[in-house]
Amino acid sequence: MRKIHLVLIAAILFLGGCGYHNPYAASSGSRPITLQRSLWVNKTGEVGLENTIYQSLSKWLRKSPLIHLVENPTLADYVLSGTIDSVDYPELSYSNNLEANELRVNLHVTFSMTARTSGKKVWTIAKTFTETLNMSGDPAILRANKLIALRKISADIAEMIYLHVIVDIMRPQPGRNN
């Protein structure tokens, strides 16, 4: 029994010291950053979509103790802004009667991260996110399906931004003081 304990302890120590690190986590020496995010400009007819994205961003960016969200941009190291450029719902598949079974949501957004003190853009990304949803003859069900798809896309956008913040800003880079 004592031999088994020694083997388990040795395995735990070996695995703990093997050098593995999470590539999406900030280094332990990173100092927290302050980040201000605002409601994005919504150029579409989807009422409330800017709030859905804002809530998803808040949820994702609060996952790291190294990111502090602030409301006042003068207190921020970085400012995140964006625009919801367009949304469309092309038909994706059809039944035998040539009625649409599925729709695709194409949501095009542009967002950027700016270093507040220098005003320099850290990055700007323009991207179309897509999600499939089921068609329904019932307008209420169709609307609910669209909302589910837009929430999924909002979560995907927020996750992408979170990963960019962790990888592009939080990680120490040669020649940059963090």
- The CATH number that applies at residue 128 is 3.30.160.150
pLDDT tens over the chain, length 178 residues: 666 655 666 666 565 555 554 544 555 556 789 999 999 999 999 999 999 999 999 999 999 888 999 999 899 999 999 999 999 988 765 555 555 577 889 999 999 999 999 999 999 999 999 999 888 778 898 889 999 999 999 999 999 999 999 887 766 544 444 4
pLDDT reported for residue 175: 43
Q: How many CB atoms lie within 10 A of CB 53?
A: 27
121, 113 Cβ separation under 8 angstroms = yes
Q: Please check whether residue 139 lies inside any domain of the structure.
A: yes
Residues 6+ apart with CB under 8 A from 113: 78, 79, 80, 121, 122, 123, 164, 165, 168, 169
Q: Please check whether residue 150 lies inside any domain of the structure.
A: yes
Residue type, 46: E
Is the Cα torsion angle 125, 127, 133, 135 positive or negative in sign?
A: positive
Residue keyed to tokens 């969200």? 69
- If one counts the domains in the chain, the total is 1
pLDDT reported for residue 48: 94
CA gap 97, 47 in Å, rounded: 33
pLDDT reported for residue 177: 45
Residue keyed to tokens 């994205």? 53
pLDDT reported for residue 176: 44
Residue numbers of the domain that contains 43: 2-170
The overall pTM is greater than 0.75: yes
Q: Please check whether residue 132 lies inside any domain of the structure.
A: yes
Helix axes 139-164, 49-61, angle to 10 degrees: 40
pLDDT reported for residue 136: 78
